[in-house]
């Protein structure tokens, strides 16, 4: 079938200026036919492509890919219209890349910088999803309503409070915009972020080498740019078969309690997670502004895990902390991974089998007035770092700068992550082994219709 990812390229070209008047080439070098309608038969059509357009943004209910590149941006646009042009061009480029194509014009003028870095030339889509979110700074920053949007800030897009134990580093915190890139190939995810960041960046390269000036690129290249990267974080998951809950760096299964999780026997690679309870827990409904209906709020936390300390901790204590068995993932009260917790069960001494300060009890919907969030976390491994732990045995020295990029989607963070984590941050036994070093919150707008663009309804 056609690789042409959208039916309205001409419309986009109009919005983007003339830089793309030449036909786009697919990776295979075939010219895509303008005006052709892409009609994917299923999530798995087109060699592992996840549809970019739809009711919801991809990358939320999509079963997790094995690699993450999370990018947070500062917006530096001088006007709302510049920002809108970027979002239109990002939409176009994201759809092209999700279909497995490169973002490059057919003319390939060798005296200009390539429109696309070409680092994944010849690769397939790799189940790439690009999920866009708006941070508080889009609406108001340093007390300024930079883009005339302050009145449109949703009540649910709160500033996250300071939680107990937070040791947030500015280098991994905040942002006015985010893009979550996920793919089954780390190079594909990074390529996409790099391409989108390049389109948004100031273009100050009066490149003297060879006497070449930086030329027009796809989309927005006017100085001084629209957005610059603020922080960037890679993540990964072990490549388990579809439907199996992946293990985190503590060796435990992570995500068993996710809402909307279909029967593992039914899930198939690339198939969207069933909508069972997602409507209640994840998708914004009529209570939100139109541009957020069908969208979701993203909370990201960079959580360092004291792996050396953990590896010297007894298995039964590890399991007490989680409240689950390590190998099976089943509750300490018995059964398999998906057996419900029995929070009332006590041992011979009358103590709860699943401890009061265990991770699973503190996170359970039943102890949080029914609050549920969709976890979409990745492990990260950034090498070593000099670290002074804040818990016994108070290790100091080179330790793993590794842990969890916790990503959670929810309908309302006030009754989602904040509700759940406020108590966890105070009482969870696991805190002895974790330190939150990064944090941000974003409003991920509803899905994008063909011909539309990211967050279009916010700007009407």
Considering the rule CB under 8 A, would residue 228 count as an interface residue with its own copies?
yes
To its own copies, the closest distance from the beta carbon of 65 in angstroms equals: 12
CA 102, CA 122: separation in Å to the nearest integer? Answer: 9
Q: Which one among 89, 101, 185, 389 touches its own copies, defined by CB under 8 A? A: 185
Binders of its own copies among residues 242 to 261 (CB under 8 A) are: 244, 247-251
Task: Convert residues 378-417 into a mask of x (bound to its own copies by CB under 8 A) and - (unbound).
Answer: -x-xxxx-------xx----x-x-x---------------
CB of 312 to its own copies, least distance (A): 3
Tell whether residue 274 is a contact of its own copies (CB under 8 A): no
User: In this complex, which beta carbon is closest to its own copies, that of residue 116 or of residue 412?
Assistant: 116
CB of 460 vs its own copies, minimal distance in Å: 33
**Smallest distance, Å, CB 138 to its own copies?**
19
Binding to its own copies (CB under 8 A) within 7-46 occurs at: none
Cα–Cα separations (whole angstroms), residue 171 to 140, 174, 229, 424:
20, 9, 11, 24
Smaller CB distance to its own copies: residue 303 or 371? 303
Residue 115 Cα distances to 6, 18, 119, 194, 198, angstroms: 19, 14, 12, 11, 9
Q: Which stretch binds its own copies (CB under 8 A): 11-19, 48-56, 234-242, 271-279?
A: 234-242
How many residues contact its own copies, by CB under 8 A?
84
The yes or no reply on residue 314 touching its own copies (CB under 8 A) is yes
| DSSP bridge pairs for 380 | 403
Nearer CB in complex with its own copies: 55/213? 213
Looking at beta carbons only, is 380 or 442 nearer to its own copies? 380
Smaller CB separation from its own copies, 267 or 420: 267
Distance between alpha carbon 438 and the CA centroid of its chain, in Å?
14
Is there binding between residue 316 and its own copies (CB under 8 A)? yes
Instruction: Kindly calculate the radius of gyration of the chain based on its CA atoms and give it in whole angstroms.
Output: 23
The interface with its own copies within residues 100-119 (CB under 8 A) comprises: 108-114, 117-119
Tokens at residue 333, please?
């009260």
Query: Among residue numbers 354 through 383, which ones bind its own copies (CB under 8 A)?
Result: 379, 381-383
């Amino acid at each position: 079938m056609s690789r042409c990812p959208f039916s309205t390229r001409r419309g986009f070209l109009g919005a983007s200026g003339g830089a793309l008047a030449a036909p786009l080439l697919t990776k295979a070098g075939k010219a895509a036919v303008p005006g052709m309608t892409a009609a994917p038969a299923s999530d798995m059509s087109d060699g592992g492509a996840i549809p970019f357009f739809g009711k919801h943004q991809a990358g939320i209910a999509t079963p997790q890919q094995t690699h993450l590149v999370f990018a947070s941006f500062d917006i530096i646009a001088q006007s709302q219209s510049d920002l809108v042009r970027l979002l239109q061009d990002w939409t176009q480029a994201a759809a092209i890349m999700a279909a497995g194509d490169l973002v490059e014009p057919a003319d390939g003028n060798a005296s200009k910088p390539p429109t696309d870095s070409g680092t994944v030339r010849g690769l397939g889509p790799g189940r790439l999803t690009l999920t866009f979110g708006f941070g508080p700074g889009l609406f108001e920053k340093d007390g300024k309503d930079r883009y005339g949007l302050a009145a449109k800030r949703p009540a649910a897009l709160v500033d996250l409070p300071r939680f107990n134990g937070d040791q947030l580093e500015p280098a991994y915190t905040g942002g006015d915009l985010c893009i979550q890139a996920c793919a089954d190939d780390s190079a594909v995810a990074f390529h996409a972020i790099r391409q989108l960041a390049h389109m948004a960046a100031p273009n100050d390269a009066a490149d003297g080498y060879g006497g070449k000036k930086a030329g027009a690129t796809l989309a927005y290249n006017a100085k001084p740019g629209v957005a610059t990267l603020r922080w960037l974080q890679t993540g990964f998951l072990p490549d388990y078969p579809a439907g199996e809950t992946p293990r985190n760096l503590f060796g435990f299964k992570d995500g068993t309690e996710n809402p909307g999780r279909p029967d593992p026997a039914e899930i198939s690679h690339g198939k969207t997670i069933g909508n069972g309870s997602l409507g209640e827990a994840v998708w914004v409904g009529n209570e939100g502004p139109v541009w957020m209906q069908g969208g979701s709020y993203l909370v990201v936390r960079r959580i360092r895990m004291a792996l050396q300390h953990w590896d010297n901790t007894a298995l039964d204590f590890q399991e007490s902390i989680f409240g689950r068995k390590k190998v099976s993932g089943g509750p300490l009260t018995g059964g398999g991974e998906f057996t419900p917790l029995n929070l009332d069960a006590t041992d011979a001494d009358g103590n709860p089998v699943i401890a009061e300060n265990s991770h699973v009890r503190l996170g359970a919907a039943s102890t949080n007035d029914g609050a549920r969030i969709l976890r979409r976390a990745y492990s990260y491994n950034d090498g070593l770092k000099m670290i002074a732990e804040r818990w016994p045995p108070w290790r100091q020295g080179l330790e793993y700068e590794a842990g969890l990029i916790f990503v959670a989607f929810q309908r309302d963070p006030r009754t989602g992550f904040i509700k759940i984590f406020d108590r966890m941050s105070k009482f969870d036994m696991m805190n002895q082994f974790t330190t939150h070093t990064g944090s941000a919150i974003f409003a991920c707008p509803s899905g994008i219709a063909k011909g539309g663009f990211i967050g279009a309804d916010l700007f009407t």
